[in-house]
Amino acid sequence: MTADLSRRMVLAAPVLLSACADTSVSAAPADVKQGTNSKLLVAYFTRSGNTKVIAGTVQRALVADLFEIRPAKAYPEDYEQTVEQARQERDRGYEPPLAATVKDIGSYDTVFLAFPIWGETAPPIIRSFLKAHDLSGKTLRPLITHGGFGPGNSASVLKSHAPAARIEQPFIMEADQERRTLNTVTGWLSQTGL
Ligand SMILES: Cc1cc2nc3c(=O)[nH]c(=O)nc-3n(C[C@H](O)[C@H](O)[C@H](O)COP(=O)(O)O)c2cc1C
């Protein structure tokens, strides 16, 4: 491990501990952005925007309702800190509190659930979302982006957290990795000597 990386992990530690301890927040129901097709909901989680583009494309094409899944406590701006926090949460089976829940989930027939792969699985907040919303009898259509390593074990997470939903074949797409962009920009910066 490089000195720089270990220093960053030490700096990240208090952030991670406080994030993991924060289990008391209960999410209030929020309004979704309304389409005219009120039986369809597109719910999405995104960090760097790839998944939002896909969610928005589906939502506009089908004139569905739209809901952004957000944690009550935002993940760090720093990419490496987020990777580390996500890894810890995954390993502990931690389900972070949601900032808000969908007001009337019962009114939808089909829920498109759009998310990026984090640590070879669905992000922890997706487990929180599924835990907080009863999708029994509904069709669940996953829309998944990943950075080149595929959907991992996300299918089994969906199955275990939405056991009574009818889960359709997922749409899966490779999309840009923030890490690649960061590395490219950092390399360029160091060449400039700035
Ligand atoms: C915390 C974190 C963990 C990630 N883990 C993986 C992974 O295990 N496999 C993979 O292929 N991509 C991984 N990625 C890359 C993202 O899945 C990919 O870039 C995705 O399209 C990002 O979507 P977004 O722009 O909607 O946030 C990870 C990204 C982050 C931020």
Q: Is 10 part of any domain? A: no
Answer yes or no: is 16 within a domain: no
Q: 123 lies in a domain?
A: yes
Number of domains in the chain: 1
Below-50 pLDDT ranges, the chain: 1-25
Dist. CA 107 → ligand 1 center (Å): 31
pLDDT of residue 189: 96
Identify the domain containing residue 165 by its residue range. 26-192
Distance CA 118, CA 137 (A): 27
CATH number reported for the structural domain that contains residue 112 in this entry = 3.40.50.360
Which residue has the CA at smallest separation from atom 19 of ligand 1? 177
Q: Bridge partners of 44?
A: 68, 114
The confidence score (pLDDT) of residue 104 equals: 93
Q: Which DSSP string corresponds to 116-142?
A: E-BTTB--HHHHHHHHHS--TTSEEEE
In a domain, residue 128? The reply is yes
Q: Please return the burial class of 148, using the count of CB atoms within 10 Å of its CB with bins 0-12, 13-18 and 19+.
A: exposed
Is the beta carbon of 146 within 6 A of some atom in ligand 1?
Answer: yes
In this structure, what token pair is assigned to residue 148? 């080149």
Stated pTM of the model = 0.87
Residue 120 lies in a domain: yes
CB of 119 sitting under 6 A from ligand 1: yes
Per-residue model confidence as pLDDT tens digits over 135-171: 999 999 999 999 999 999 999 999 999 999 999 999 9
Encode pLDDT of 28-41 as tens digits: 888 788 888 779 99
Bridge partners (DSSP) listed for residue 141: 112
pLDDT at 31: 72
The pLDDT assigned to 26 comes to 65
Classify residue 63: in a domain, yes or no: yes
163 part of a folded domain: yes
Residues 6+ apart with CB under 8 A from 142: 112, 113, 114, 115, 154, 155, 158, 167, 168, 170, 171
